[in-house]
Amino acid sequence: MKEPLTYKQQELLGAIRSYFKSHEQSPTLKEMGDLVGGKSLRTVAQYLDILERKGYIFRRKHAKRNIELVEEKPQGINSSFVSVPVAASVGCDDLSVFVNENHDEFLEVDQKLVEGKEPVVAVRAVGNSMNDADIENGDYVLVQVTDVAESGDRVVAIVGDMVTVKRLEKKDGFMILRPESKDPSYKPIILNDDFKIAGKVICTVPGDSMDITRVEPLVKNY
């Protein structure tokens, strides 16, 4: 059972519900302040913290209108979208980018993109050695977390304590991570025992699309 609300907390929750019904989206902080009598942004933010802690709302990251009502399906929020954590940046030029396990960023993607491939994380590409595979510097790459991959798969590989995305090639007993770029300065990496496959690439989300809050299947699939 959810914790009870004070009158002022209930007032804000009721205002958010009414706004959803009228506008099919959540109000901004300023709009919420106006709805409850001109409260300051700081006061509204404090009330939202309480509503989220008590389980009445959920706030999505990196969106201006980011509130979902927990106790009912909010108007205008499509439940077919799922949040995918951004787990790391991956070096597409070399192995100079360290793995980062802190999930303080999320993408919202169409559930159809990841269905049957769970668990799924996103990584952000650094460098251009995979640009012929449509993975550009700054793009987000959706990755199925698995240590199983076949020759020809695009993979995220951890070498020592660093991570990279490349095309996997198994040849003559060797494991090779090959770049996909016409730039001759990018060289294949011949793997020794100090590595592991961390995942397979599902698709890429162009970095310049991150000004929107959701990503639908208009992405590059493999």
pLDDT tens digit string along 190-215?
A: 887 667 888 899 998 877 544 433 33
C-alpha 157/C-alpha 165 separation (Å) is 6
pTM here is 0.56
**pLDDT for position 1:** 54
Establish whether 166 is a catalytic residue: yes
Residue 1 lies in a domain: no
- CATH code assigned at 56: 1.10.10.10
94 and 188 assigned to the same domain: yes
**pLDDT for position 216:** 37
Total number of domains in the chain:
2
Residue 159 lies in a domain: yes
55 and 91 assigned to the same domain: no
Look at residues 15, 34, 69 and tell me which one is the last residue of a structural domain. Answer: 69
Residue 204 lies in a domain: yes
**pLDDT for position 198:** 86
113 and 23 assigned to the same domain: no
Q: Which residues of the chain fall below pLDDT 50?
A: 72-77, 95, 98-102, 209-222
Q: Which of 39, 166, 181, 200 is catalytic?
A: 166
**pLDDT for position 208:** 58
**pLDDT for position 2:** 64
Beta bridge partners, 123, equal 88, 141
64 and 114 assigned to the same domain: no
Over the range 183-213, which residues count as b (16 or more CB within 10 Å of their CB) and which as e?
eeebeebebeeebebbbbbbbbbbeeeeeee
C-alpha 65/C-alpha 16 separation (Å) is 11
**pLDDT for position 10:** 83
Q: Which of 26, 129, 181, 200 is catalytic?
A: 129
> Whole domain around residue 58: which residue ranges?
7-69
Residue 216 lies in a domain: yes
Residue 198 lies in a domain: yes
